[in-house]
Amino acid sequence: MSTEPRDFARPRKGTCWLFIASAFVSAAVLFIALQPPLLTSLLVNAPPLRMTEAERMHVLNEFSASAPADANSSATDTVWARRTYAPMHIHAEELTLYRSAIADAFPEHQIAFDVVFAASKDAVPWHADFDSLGPFDATLASIGREDFITVHANLVCPEGSAGGAGRLRTVDSLGVAALHYASNRLTSSFGSLGALTEPLAAGFGERPRTHDGAARIGNAFNNLKAHGVSAGAGRVSYVVRLVRKSVRLSRDKVRAAARGGELSTRKIGEFERFLPLFSEAAEMSVGDFPWARVPRHDHGHDASAVVN
């Protein structure tokens, strides 16, 4: 038997990391479990959201003219081929009808910005959008409050869409959402729980829902809950991001999200265009920010972010 002294007070680094991760995940799930749910989800009675053919073609033509063919050349964990981030088409006169329909459906939320992207042939893995919410005050409680909503529509349906290709899929589970939150905060990784999401959902008694994939149909969902898109080559999608009007937006967080830093898990350079509109204010409510005045941008130059 060895007589060398042992340091029992200093656990191995791997053990410490596992303990911290387990504690964080447990706390996240417990927090969610104790949150009182909304009496009625805002998404349950949302009316159909449809783009006109003219609106679809406007966004598609702008995207075709502006998104560079190599927009994804420097990305390492994204699943799109080309994209434009926050081009702000949704605030253009050409999309008045679609914008008005969304605003009427969700009067407590502000239409903030949009994203257009051409998907690769692969599926978008299960994920939640915590890592792209750097500019906003987003917490675990934001999930149950439905502070962040996305409206997803296909502009071009992929090959095989009739058989389920290129369809938005969602999991309506607070527990699964909490686990995605914990995983994202611990790993700063997009879709790190992708392969485990459906088994976890089954454990919480939930099954994935597949949404209508027809062109021009806007599907609204809570983007802090797990979602993904089935594989389908040739798909071009358009998403509009909504934020509850009372959520706070700060200059420091916008700057960190645009340039990278401790306050953000992902660099999204297009947020830089938001900064001049703060004027003298250090922060403000999302509903008070002049989103329609954000300069239009037609070139997707930063390939480090993804939103679905």
Q: Measure the CA–CA gap between 56 and 52, rounded to whole angstroms.
A: 6
Mean pLDDT of the chain: 81
- The CATH number of residue 279's host domain is 2.60.120
Q: Measure the CA–CA gap between 121 and 3, rounded to whole angstroms.
A: 60
Provide the pLDDT for residue 11: 40
Please indicate, yes or no, if residue 280 is contained in any of the structural domains: yes
Q: How many CB atoms lie within 10 A of CB 158?
A: 21
pLDDT score of 13 more than 50: no
- The beta strands (E) that lie in 16-131 are given as 49-50, 80-85, 109-119, 124-127
Chain centroid to Cα 156, Å, comes to 20
Using pLDDT thresholds of 50, 70 and 90, give the confidence band for residue 201: confident
Please indicate, yes or no, if residue 6 is contained in any of the structural domains: no
Which residues, at least 6 apart from 89, have a Cβ–Cβ distance to it below 8 Å? 58, 59, 62, 95, 114, 116, 238, 296
Please indicate, yes or no, if residue 4 is contained in any of the structural domains: no
> Taking the model in full, what pTM does it have?
0.82
| Number of Cα atoms under 13 Å in the Cβ half of residue 222 | 23
Please indicate, yes or no, if residue 307 is contained in any of the structural domains: no
Using pLDDT thresholds of 50, 70 and 90, give the confidence band for residue 198: confident
Provide the pLDDT for residue 183: 83
- What angle is formed at CA 205 by the lines to CA 199 and CA 210, rounded to 5 degrees? 70
Q: Measure the CA–CA gap between 177 and 175, rounded to whole angstroms.
A: 5
The Cα-based distances of 267 to 237, 253, 287 in angstroms read 22, 11, 24
Please indicate, yes or no, if residue 299 is contained in any of the structural domains: no
What domain count does the chain have?
1
- The beta strands (E) that lie in the chain are given as 49-50, 80-85, 109-119, 124-127, 148-156, 168-170, 209-210, 217-222, 227-229, 236-244, 248-250, 283-285
Using pLDDT thresholds of 50, 70 and 90, give the confidence band for residue 67: low
What range does the domain containing 233 cover?
Answer: 13-293
108-132 pLDDT, tens per residue?
Answer: 999 999 999 998 888 889 999 887 7
pLDDT score of 291 more than 70: yes
Please indicate, yes or no, if residue 163 is contained in any of the structural domains: yes
**What region does 113 belong to: left with phi over 0, alpha with psi -120 to 50, or beta?**
beta
Please indicate, yes or no, if residue 304 is contained in any of the structural domains: no
Highest mean pLDDT among 71-85, 114-128, 242-256: 242-256
CA nearest neighbour of 257 among 273, 235, 233, 238? 273
CA nearest neighbour of 215 among 88, 44, 60? 60
Of the two residues 16 and 230, the one the predictor is more confident about is 230
Please indicate, yes or no, if residue 78 is contained in any of the structural domains: yes
